[in-house]
Chains A and B, each alone.
Chain A
Amino acid sequence: MKYSSQKEKKKPVTQKYMDEMMRMYRERLPSGKVRDNPVEIPERDEPVPEKENAVIPPSENSGTLIIEVTTANGDIPLHNAHITVFKQNGDEKHILAFLTTDKSGKTPSITLGAPPGTLSLNPDNTVKPYASYNIYTTMEGFYPVVNNNVPVFSGVSSIQQVNMIPLPQFMTYPDKDIVYNGEEPDLFTEGG
């Protein structure tokens, strides 16, 4: 089962594509639940950047995130991997971006909200000094990967490497997701 990179060309995020992502997404929520009601997609003021090298400089109260998808522990980049970046608030999931990787396995850099950077410079701070996001990556012929609790700090670029593992022979659809759970930094304890 070879992946076909040549089939899909870069195109604007169409409703059909988003519907397809939503369908795949609903079937494989990390929590194991299946949602009946559609996930809220917030209005965006600006389109999701699709151009290669669309670098948005970090600014106050936001950081950036770039995702790098490879196989063979980094030796081979994966072109046209599909990525969903979302934020979990309780039971609700807000989708922030749909991305695909270029031939180096990288997505464009996206800007995400984060708390003020000064929080992480103060040892007595009791407010969470970073924002947490979730990333879901799929590629035909590979186990999907879930990254939970991906921290983003204000004014800082985060780089999420996603190493994908090919499915064993004769497995047409993956029987599981590979899940990585981020942990709270040792430096921070909620409430002090």
Chain B
Amino acid sequence: MQGEPFIPEKITVHLGYPKSSAENVTVNFTDYIKNVASSEIYPTWPENSIRANVYVIVSYALNRIYTEFYRSQGYDFDITNSTQYDMSFVPGRDIFQPISEVVDELFNSYISRQGSLEPLFAVFCDGKIVSCDGLSQWGTVTLANQGYIPYDILRYYYGDDINIITDAPIQANDPSYPGIPITLGMSGGNVSLIQTRLNRISANYPAIPKIYPVNGIFGASTENAVKKFQEIWNLNPTGIVDKSTWYKIIYIYTSIKRLAQLASEGLSLSEISHQFPEVLESGSSGEYVRVLQYYLAVIGSYYERVPPVDITGEFGQMTVDSVKAFQSVFGLPQTGVVDETTWNEIYRAYAGIIESVPVPSPENNIALYPNIVLSEGITNEYVRILQQYLSYIHKTYPQVSDVNATGYFGPMTRNSVISFQNQFGLNPSGVVSAVTWDAIASVYSDLKFGYDKNPEQNPGYTIS
């Protein structure tokens, strides 16, 4: 990794010694840290001890990722769960509430040497059976009981020339936590963001009441939705969007949208035959590789032992890794080559998934990109749809200028597109290609269908 360290969304953990043929699992970074902390220390320990240990665990993990320690040696994982090499991680274990709360707060903070941005390779040991030149886990209990704060505990073990970097950037399209808690009575762009995100999340988690109106003003309905969200995700249900709540909303929203996006892409595949086409392997390319990658992407969203794969149409290393992982999970020889048996197993796993629980997708109600670039001078139905979407978005985001739905892409439409692109972090070209269309449609759907509620969902009044 070059440049400033950032917090990855996921981490791939090898379940054994580096050279062993064990499986990998790919999990959310915060879930990984919670699992490690719950495996390495006791949840009954004083809070400052838990906090010091969490800083250490985060720093250690980020160091492995930032230095690409295993990947640069040709391995296909970021870290192992062997305690001889790295930290304990027990797949599928329970986690403890006191540890969960600390990790949700500290997951994007880490220790570094003064003058460096690199996350410290924070060595540690239990401190009773084993002593080491680093943090002693049992020692932190003693120090915390003596009144040491986490920073002083860390200085005790790692020296005075350390900093705690707080609020490292995370890997997401949404902005970072604004630095102050967002509460009842506040207003602004951050409030609109929370409102649209929570409304979209509530399509999957209907116990979260819909927020109406989405107007950037933090009222009672926003507070109720925040509280319910916090209850579901084991955060302190204050109704106040603090740092932990902000990032949890963003992470859950990002993950849910990605799944829905993937589900909607499947609609265009329904015409392609799922019969085994031909042997596919490293170096293959074309439409069948795309279909294969799509199946693997869906499977990877449901099986944590199958890593994510990009849908490129080119059968490269990512695809090989994903195929091998799939073959391992299903007891097939791990060749990385998709013969007829592997193809059929992949298809059956994929088909079983899409038959199971429908992915809640309000996005299915919006128009797909028409596959032509829309720019000034064009007149057609898609321009009219585009203008309708922008006009609707303008009602919540006044910085996106309003436009009449005439079907003609004139200077006003161009300005509206530019204002949208500026508002949502896209290149302000004034031209609508696939990326801009998808972004406009996505924001429109979050706003419009965020209001659609299930029968048993609050509030009880009709939303028009």
Contacts and interface: CB of A to CB of B under 8 A. Distances in A.
Nearest to B139: A123
Interface in A150-192: 150-151, 153-161, 163, 165-171, 180, 182-183, 185-187, 189
Which of A1, A147, A154, A187 has the most chain B CB atoms closer than 10 A to its own CB?
A187
Interface in B287-318: 301-304
Interface string B226-243: 000001101000000000
A182 B178 CA distance: 39
Interface stretch (A20-28, A33-41, A89-97, A99-107): A99-107
Contacts of B231: 53
Contacts of A108: none
Contact of A156 (B96, B204, B205, B352): B96
Contacts of A167: 352, 356
Contacts, number: 151
Contacts of A65: 94
Given A1-B355, A2-B357, A183-B90, A169 B42 contact: no
A166 B95 contact: no
B187 to A, nearest CB: 29
Given A72-B301, A75-B301, A76-B204, A141 B356 contact: yes
A3 B353 CA distance: 12
A98 interface: no
A83 interface: no
Interface residues of A, number: 53
A142 interface: yes
Given A75-B259, A104-B232, A158 B355 contact: no
Contacts of A61: none
B348 A168 contact: yes
B6 interface: no
Given A77-B205, A120-B42, A165-B303, A160 B355 contact: no
A127 to B, nearest CB: 13
B94 A147 contact: yes
A159 B35 CA distance: 11
A121 B44 contact: yes
B333 to A, nearest CB: 18
Contacts of A141: 355-356
B355 A166 contact: yes
B458 to A, nearest CB: 12
Contacts of B19: none
Q: Kindly list the 3 A-B residue pairs having the minimum CB-CB distance in the complex, ordered from nearest.
A: A180-B92, A166-B356, A157-B97
Given A74-B28, A169-B351, 11 more contacts: A53-B231, A73-B304, A103-B456, A129-B42, A141-B356, A150-B94, A154-B44, A159-B95, A161-B31, A168-B345, A187-B42
Interface of A: 1-3, 53, 65, 71-78, 102-104, 106, 117, 120-121, 123-124, 129, 141-142, 145, 147, 150-151, 153-161, 163, 165-171, 180, 182-183, 185-187, 189
